[in-house]
Structure 1
Amino acid sequence: MALLAYLHYTTDIFEVFMTDVARYQQKSKTLSALSIAGVALTLGLAGCSNSETTEAAADGSATTEGQNIELLNVSYDVARDFYKDYNPLFVEHYKAEHPDSKILIKQSHGGSSKQALSVANGLQADVATMNQGSDIELLEKKGLVESDWESKFPDNAVPFTSTIVFLVRKDNPENIKDWEDLTKDGVEIVMANPKVTGNGRYAFLGAYGYGLHAFNQDETKAQGYVKDMLKNVKVYENGGRAATTTFVQRGIGDVLVTFENEANLAATDFGAGQVDIVYPKYSIKSESPVAVVKTVTDKKGTTDAAKAYLDYLWSEPAQQLAADLYLRPSVKSVLDKNSDKLPPVETFRPNDAFGTWDEIMSTYFSDGGVFDQLAVNAPQ
């Protein structure tokens, strides 16, 4: 029977990790969250939802050799594991080229759209690394990012992609094999909130795209499928990592609908032995675009360093790191080399199925939009 969905709204969380090159191999084995209520999105760096710093010698962009540089990367929730390891990798690369300068990299993580809104409202990000184009487009509209941001880096400024998969309990007791199984009576779904997170939006659009694919583009039947699926949502979380915590550590739900890299992190690390991954036959491709927040970097004198920071995402070491963390590298040679851990999946791009991100946001995720119409207990 349909279970009443509830919202587990977590406020922005703060974690500060000081790392250096000597601790490069260290990996966190647990998830921790410190809930703090009543914090405004427009707070400065001390008010980031989750921050991490990496410090070592490197070059300072648009500054003289020997000066100190500080970069803030504002990013989406489940990218924290990648950037935790990428930052020391980048710093080491820069140290070899510019030994007389020093760079400090700080991280902020949270729901992608909340993060973009924070930057739009004044958070001084040097770079934005999001998980959907609409979040960068918001910054472009605000005049913070250049209008040709997609052409500034290879692959339309998308260094890696992911897809939506299912994380289920060990040995898959509910026998969930594909999207249609998410509508079974009694199945409890955990997912991120589509109103505020890219993770949740990709999950919703993945389900909708499956419905269109399964029912020969029949909108009525596709919406019927999605409505039935959403009836089974037990929890909408305010971030992809919060959804993982709810499913794995709190033991709520039968299936977590999430990104492939997040599912693999749970299956191989903090949820090892407790969960399995199910790949649907047809799913959505999620793209993670990046951009320099030019108005901020021009003011700080960090434009060159910010660009170099993003450029290095396409280096072979960074692309292999992405693959190691179950992100799909945009450099084909690296992706092909890792096909054992990143199996081929038939995917579709959201823009091909649903239009531009502006159209997607206004049609599906605005107040009273398609998501609100189909979700029995839609998050507000």
Structure 2
Amino acid sequence: MAYHPTSLSRRLGAGLAITAVVAGGGSVLLTSQLQAQAQANKPQQILLVSYAVTKAAYDQIIPLFEAEWKKKTGQSVVIKTSFGGSGSQTRAVIDGLEADLVGLALEGDVLKIQEAGLIEPGWQRENPNNSIITNSVVAFFVRPGNPKKISSWKDLDNKSVDVVTANPKTSGGARWNFLGLWGSVTTTGGSEAQARNYVTTVYKNVEVLPKDAREATDTFVKRGKGDVLLNYENEAILAKRSGEWTVPYKLPDPNVLIEGPIAVVDKNVDKHGTRKVAEAFARFLYSPAAQKAFVNNGFRPVTAEGKTFARGKFQQVKTFTVQEFGGWANVNKKFFGKGGLWDQIFSKSR
């Protein structure tokens, strides 16, 4: 007998078919959700490119963030690092080192990466304090007993004083040293012509130009070169703490306020799919734990909590900022650009 489906059976069949489709769709949706969850929990790796003297601080900060991220998200993250002179690190990122974040010695280096199209304009507004995570000042390392009686900027204007400082072409710290020297004249009533003459005289007393701040410390401390070393205050603090160099350091007054920024490298994090964790790490650097680690490694803090923790740990000194010279965009061009003041002074000092 031929089978002729009734209207009821047709409705039941249609319902079963719809149920199967829905069930199938639900399976696809569930699979998609599971895949997305698996991807979200997949371990990630990011690269932080920074300048030489931050290594000790980041060695303490990074494990703290990795543990906190795992606790909050369930995802494991590994932060790889690269350290070197800020200028050299900047060039490496521009030339293809795929940093997810850059924690360089000065805003001027981050601006160069921005100009290369890797960081979007406005990165300063992405984090508190215009994305500055640490402060410091220029310190003078002197020999035991300070035989040359060096305590102020003016004391460097002496043919008998052998000065050690890194190369401004490769070192961010050296550029801060240069601005400290220059500003010691122009912020105390001197003219730019007087500043040029003074800085030229000082650099005539510089025999070698190490590539970065850490190598400059080694040149003075381990190789015994020079009567005075110009370097970051945090280098002096760490050298004293480790017993590497226990002679009291000098802080010339007025001094330049050294500002160290952090920035996410937009093009790279979008390529790697690491924006969320990179931005979280940048924000973590303002946390009490991170600021405490910076202080413990000789950096001056930028947050209220950090400053409370640091009370009494740093010498008081009057400071001027890079804004005295028109900001980093102007400084990059006027002082350190091709044919700029540094090039002119270097050629006359050699």
TM-score exceeds 0.5: yes
* Structure 2 partner of 1:137: 111
Please, what TM-score do these two structures have when normalized by structure 2?
Answer: 0.85
Distance 2:299 2:348 in 1: 32
- Who wins on radius of gyration, i.e. which is larger? 2
In the TM superposition, residue 185 of structure 1 has moved relative to its aligned partner by 2.9
Contact map agreement 1:171 1:276 (CA 8 A) in 2? no
Distance 1:362 1:141 in 2: 13
Structure 1 or 2: larger helix share?
2
- The alignment's C-alpha RMSD in Å is 1.8
| CA 1:297–1:312: 2 relative to 1, 3 Å | same
In the TM superposition, residue 291 of structure 1 has moved relative to its aligned partner by 0.8
Contact map agreement 1:248 1:266 (CA 8 A) in 2? no
Matched, 1:233 2:233: no
The match for 1:94 among 46, 54, 69 is 69
Aligned residue pairs: how many? 314
Equivalent runs, 1:25-44 vs 2, <5 Å: none
Matched, 1:359 2:323: no
Distance 1:63 1:226 in 2: 59
Please, what TM-score do these two structures have when normalized by structure 1?
Answer: 0.79
* Structure 2 partner of 1:333: 305
Matched, 1:116 2:87: no
> Deviation string for 1:13-35 (max 9, x for gaps)?
xxxxxxxxxxxxxxxxxxxxxxx
Contact map agreement 1:187 1:232 (CA 8 A) in 2? yes
Q: Which runs of 5+ in 1 are unaligned?
A: 1-61
In the alignment, residue 86 of structure 1 is paired with which amino acid?
A: I
* Structure 1 partner of 2:164: 190
Equivalent runs, 1:1-380 vs 2, <5 Å: 64-99=39-74, 101-214=75-188, 216-273=189-246, 275-350=247-322, 352-375=323-346
Distance 2:260 2:243 in 1: 24
Structure 1 or 2: larger strand share?
1
Alignment identity in percent?
Answer: 34
In the TM superposition, residue 122 of structure 1 has moved relative to its aligned partner by 1.2
> Deviation string for 1:71-110 (max 9, x for gaps)?
10011121111111111121122232234x2211111111
Q: Secondary structure at the match of 1:234?
A: coil
In the TM superposition, residue 145 of structure 1 has moved relative to its aligned partner by 1.1
Distance 1:74 1:82 in 2: 14
> Deviation string for 1:157-190 (max 9, x for gaps)?
0111111111112232221111111122311111
Distance 1:326 1:158 in 2: 16
Contact map agreement 2:221 2:245 (CA 8 A) in 1? no
In the alignment, residue 206 of structure 2 is paired with which amino acid?
A: V
| CA 1:161–1:63: 2 relative to 1, 3 Å | farther
In the alignment, residue 226 of structure 2 is paired with which amino acid?
A: G
* Structure 1 partner of 2:34: none
Contact map agreement 1:231 1:376 (CA 8 A) in 2? no
Contact map agreement 1:292 1:306 (CA 8 A) in 2? yes
Contact map agreement 1:127 1:292 (CA 8 A) in 2? yes
Runs of 4+ aligned structure 1 residues displaced above 6 Å come to none
| CA 1:125–1:308: 2 relative to 1, 3 Å | same
In the TM superposition, residue 370 of structure 1 has moved relative to its aligned partner by 1.3
Which stretch of structure 1 is more off in the superposition, 163-172 or 237-246? 163-172
Distance 1:362 1:153 in 2: 26
In the TM superposition, residue 378 of structure 1 has moved relative to its aligned partner by 5.8
Contact map agreement 2:46 2:80 (CA 8 A) in 1? yes
Q: Secondary structure at the match of 1:122?
A: coil
Distance 1:139 1:265 in 2: 30
Contact map agreement 2:141 2:249 (CA 8 A) in 1? yes
| CA 1:128–1:320: 2 relative to 1, 3 Å | same
Q: Which runs of 5+ in 2 are unaligned?
A: 1-36
Contact map agreement 2:45 2:77 (CA 8 A) in 1? yes
